[in-house]
A and B are shown apart, each in its own frame.
Chain A
Amino acid sequence: MPSRRAKSRKIQVNFLTRVEGETALRIRIRDGELIELRLEIFEPPRFFESFLRGRDSREAPDLTARICGICPVAYQMSTVHAFERLYDIPIDPAVRELRRLYLCGEWIESHALHIHMLAAPDFLGCDSIIALADKNREAVERGLRIKKVGNAIVTALGGRSVHPVGACIGGFTRIPRREQLATLREQLLHVRDDAIECVRWVSHFDLPAVTRDIEFVSLRHPDEYPMNDGRIASSKNIDAAPDDFDDFFEEHQVPYSNALHCRITGRGPYFLGPLARVNLNFDQLGPDVMSVARETGIPWPSSNPYTSIVARALEVLYAIGEAVRVIDAYQPPPVPATPYEVRAGIGRAITEAPRGSLYHAFETDDRGLIHSARIVPPTSQNQARIEADLRELVPDIIRRSDIEATRMCEMAIRNYDPCISCSTHFLKLEVERG
């Protein structure tokens, strides 16, 4: 029974923790009715779309990488693909494969970080990975081993794991030798069992059993699990080219957030990220990963947002196998990057960042200088969906203490692995109740 002690209750979390960036949550409840719920992203805006104007397109992959220290590779990939379409640059198949490897590295690193450092402490009653290590050192060490291999892939192709320097329009500035990738292959095979164990570990967490009416959105490709290429697909039958993003999705501003909200035109919120990708591309995960996925007992596709941690662990396993496949088939491309001429025009691209589809659009002048830039990160696209999930929690929250209510809200938010640094152009919890 909801408490009738107070007429009005306000729950406020001023600084959401174990998320990347600065966010607050404010919930006001009166006489058991929700009055207001808002996710306030107060991460200060850095105005990337503004200062990119007038910059040289060749600089763009180094600049957009700085939007996010956790997923710089995805930013570089959306940027280079947008310009490659704009300048009509053919990409060597071997370069295309290396870019899959590059993104596999970032998925592994970012997902392992989220699973072990940000999310798992919730389920095991710890406040950090360091406290978790006291309880379950084996799981923590396993997570760190997996994460390290992800970083090693990015470092092999880009020199360092945060803001790597190897990607450029047309390809890479340097391509790896086969021997160099052979070392990575050994490291990957070494953590493959760790990744299977990780899937089993997270699928045994006490995941709240809910089902929600959610529209999932991700890229889909006929021949492969989506990364840098594909059409926009949704669980409610969107099938669109990335160029037509604006025909299906719209950004709008809410007064309390520095991150623009997004919705599917005429419908509403949607869900991006590993759970969306697994749901829409289950058949592309390959027999081994599909078999591990089925062993979890979770019915796929899953409409329970809390199973996103399992989807994330499945993608780690997938990315390890995919990275090994790319390495085994690797023949160095004839040149690291295809030469090209700049021209005036518009180029758009979507790639799958660890947190979901990342849309970039650039317009250039005939000198290749950026005339306008648009960047729509996954976290800002997920904001409205996060708020929708939180609204469904309200009847539960009313009965709980502030500490418990905050924990429940943070868990619901962490399903989306929000990256607030990215989305600001993202939490504090504040609940007023009664």
Chain B
Amino acid sequence: MKPRVAVFKFASCDGCQLQFLNAEDELLKLAAQVDFVYFPEARSRALEGPYDIAFVEGSITTPDDARRIIKVREESRYLVTIGACATAGGIQALRNWADIEQYRRVVYPSPEFISTLSTSTPISEHVRVDFELWGCPVDKQQLLAVVRSRLSKAQPAVPGHSVCLECKRRGNVCVVVTRGEPCLGPVTRTGCGALCPAFNRGCYGCFGPADDQNMESFARLLVSQGVQGDDAVRRLRGINGYVRPWRETADAIAAGKK
């Protein structure tokens, strides 16, 4: 029997699960190897668990979703978070530094109809996660590699080094050195192919923190580039802003310690 795969969505933009559908060359081959038994965006019939692999997109932002993720975990043998929202809380985690009542009032004339939590949190704050795949969006090839690993009962592995290594390998001109452009590349996990520097701009941290990051040194680099205070805080509080090392550094800068 083919492994039973489920794709769940929480607070998110759909972009990570879209990567399955963007696998134009691989989709039909993939469907021959696994059975997408639960994938509401792509299939009307939803089959019950248990699921062999569950891909979870999105962060937890409502009381209902906080309950739903527990049920998803119970039904799933192997749970993979896909993307910045599920893995770090996403861009919507900017609410974690704000007054949610005010947020509600800005968007909705009748805020009392809106059920939401005051925080956006990653899946790992709620249930055990077997593998976290970073990226905003996740890289299609990395996503397919996770499926392949599980088909051969192996633990998936993706590189954890910084964007800088990939950037050099790609032959990009360093935007920090040559243009003084602020760039999160030194502290960001590789996976995008050093895209932003290849497009003449600094990395903005889509793939989250690299394994070998040095935040203290990075904070000094920002200061030396004239990026301080609110400007530095904004750069760290972005797509993956709620992930611990970046959160702590930004909070320290905001408190005036760095």
C-alpha gap A242/B103 in the complex (Å):
26
Which segment, of B15-23, B73-81, B151-159, B246-254, faces chain A? Answer: B15-23
Q: Scoring A residues 51 to 79 as 1 if CB is less than 8 Å from chain B, else 0, what string do you get? A: 10101100100110011111010000000
Contacting pair A22 B9 (CB below 8 A):
yes
A61 to nearest B CB, angstroms?
Answer: 11
Contacting pair A163 B28 (CB below 8 A):
no
Chain A, interface size: which category? 35 or more
B24 to nearest A CB, angstroms?
Answer: 4
Chain A residues within 8 Å of B142, by CB: none
**Cβ of A405 under 8 Å from chain B:** no
**Cβ of A2 under 8 Å from chain B:** no
Q: Scoring B residues 58 to 96 as 1 if CB is less than 8 Å from chain A, else 0, what string do you get? A: 000110110000000000000000000000001110110
Which segment, of B124-132, B160-168, B192-200, B213-221, faces chain A? Answer: B192-200
Contacting pair A59 B234 (CB below 8 A):
yes
Number of A-B contacts (CB under 8 A): 182
Contacting pair B41 A17 (CB below 8 A):
yes
Chain B residues within 8 Å of A141, by CB: 28
Chain A residues within 8 Å of B36, by CB: 128, 130
Contacting pair A17 B109 (CB below 8 A):
no
Chain B residues within 8 Å of A93, by CB: none
Q: A148-B24, A336-B200, A421-B12 are in contact. Are A45 and B107 (CB under 8 A)?
A: yes
Chain B residues within 8 Å of A144, by CB: 24-25, 27-28
Contacting pair A160 B195 (CB below 8 A):
yes
Contacting pair A47 B31 (CB below 8 A):
no
A224 to nearest B CB, angstroms?
Answer: 27
**Cβ of B45 under 8 Å from chain A:** yes
Query: For residue A128, which residue of chain B has the nearest CB?
Result: B43
Partner of A147, one of B14, B24, B62, B204: B24
Partner of B91, one of A51, A160, A165, A166: A51
**Cβ of A189 under 8 Å from chain B:** no
Contacting pair A50 B200 (CB below 8 A):
no
Q: Scoring A residues 166 to 200 as 1 if CB is less than 8 Å from chain B, else 0, what string do you get? A: 10100001100000000000000000000000000
**Cβ of A18 under 8 Å from chain B:** yes
**Cβ of B114 under 8 Å from chain A:** yes
C-alpha gap A377/B108 in the complex (Å):
15
Contacting pair B195 A253 (CB below 8 A):
no
**Cβ of A255 under 8 Å from chain B:** yes
Chain B residues within 8 Å of A90, by CB: none
C-alpha gap A45/B199 in the complex (Å):
32
C-alpha gap A67/B90 in the complex (Å):
11
Contacting pair A159 B195 (CB below 8 A):
yes
A367 to nearest B CB, angstroms?
Answer: 10
**Cβ of A15 under 8 Å from chain B:** yes
Query: For residue A407, which residue of chain B has the nearest CB?
Result: B44
Contacting pair A133 B234 (CB below 8 A):
no
Contacting pair A117 B42 (CB below 8 A):
yes
Partner of B25, one of A148, A165, A173, A256: A148
Contacting pair A51 B95 (CB below 8 A):
yes
Contacting pair B10 A68 (CB below 8 A):
no
B22 to nearest A CB, angstroms?
Answer: 6
Chain A residues within 8 Å of B64, by CB: 42
**Cβ of A425 under 8 Å from chain B:** yes
Q: A69-B137, A173-B201 are in contact. Are A18 and B108 (CB under 8 A)?
A: no
Chain B residues within 8 Å of A336, by CB: 200
Contacting pair A127 B43 (CB below 8 A):
yes
A356 to nearest B CB, angstroms?
Answer: 17
Partner of B200, one of A19, A148, A174, A421: A174
Contacting pair B42 A128 (CB below 8 A):
yes
Chain A residues within 8 Å of B65, by CB: 44
Query: For residue A252, which residue of chain B has the nearest CB?
Result: B109
**Cβ of A345 under 8 Å from chain B:** no
Contacting pair B61 A44 (CB below 8 A):
yes
**Cβ of B177 under 8 Å from chain A:** no
A380 to nearest B CB, angstroms?
Answer: 11
Partner of A140, one of B28, B92, B103: B28
Query: For residue B206, which residue of chain A has the nearest CB?
Result: A163
**Cβ of B224 under 8 Å from chain A:** no
Contacting pair B106 A121 (CB below 8 A):
no
Chain A residues within 8 Å of B136, by CB: 66, 163
B143 to nearest A CB, angstroms?
Answer: 11
Q: Which of A115-155 contact B (CB under 8 A)?
A: 117-118, 121, 127-131, 133, 137, 140-141, 144-145, 147-148, 151
A142 to nearest B CB, angstroms?
Answer: 11
A338 to nearest B CB, angstroms?
Answer: 15
**Cβ of A46 under 8 Å from chain B:** yes
Contacting pair B11 A17 (CB below 8 A):
no
C-alpha gap A72/B91 in the complex (Å):
15
C-alpha gap A18/B195 in the complex (Å):
31
Chain A residues within 8 Å of B10, by CB: 44
**Cβ of B178 under 8 Å from chain A:** no
Contacting pair B92 A47 (CB below 8 A):
yes
Chain A residues within 8 Å of B41, by CB: 17-20
Chain B residues within 8 Å of A63, by CB: 91
B182 to nearest A CB, angstroms?
Answer: 11
**Cβ of B180 under 8 Å from chain A:** no
Chain B residues within 8 Å of A22, by CB: 9
Contacting pair B15 A69 (CB below 8 A):
yes
**Cβ of B46 under 8 Å from chain A:** yes
**Cβ of A161 under 8 Å from chain B:** yes
**Using a CB–CB distance below 8 Å, which chain B residues touch chain A?**
9-19, 21-22, 24-25, 27-28, 31, 36, 39-46, 61-62, 64-65, 90-92, 94-95, 98, 102-104, 106-110, 113-114, 116, 120, 136-137, 192-193, 195-196, 198-201, 204, 206, 231, 234, 238-239
Which 7 A/B pairs are nearest by Cβ-Cβ distance?
A: A69-B15, A128-B43, A50-B103, A51-B94, A46-B92, A162-B137, A148-B24
A-B contact pairs, 21 of them (CB 8 A): A44-B62, A45-B107, A45-B108, A46-B11, A46-B92, A50-B98, A128-B36, A133-B31, A140-B28, A144-B24, A148-B24, A159-B195, A159-B199, A162-B15, A162-B18, A162-B137, A165-B195, A165-B199, A253-B109, A258-B114, A336-B200
15 further A-B contacts with Cβ under 8 Å, apart from A59-B234, A127-B43, are A18-B43, A21-B14, A44-B116, A45-B61, A49-B107, A51-B91, A51-B95, A56-B234, A68-B14, A69-B14, A121-B44, A128-B44, A141-B28, A253-B108, A425-B108
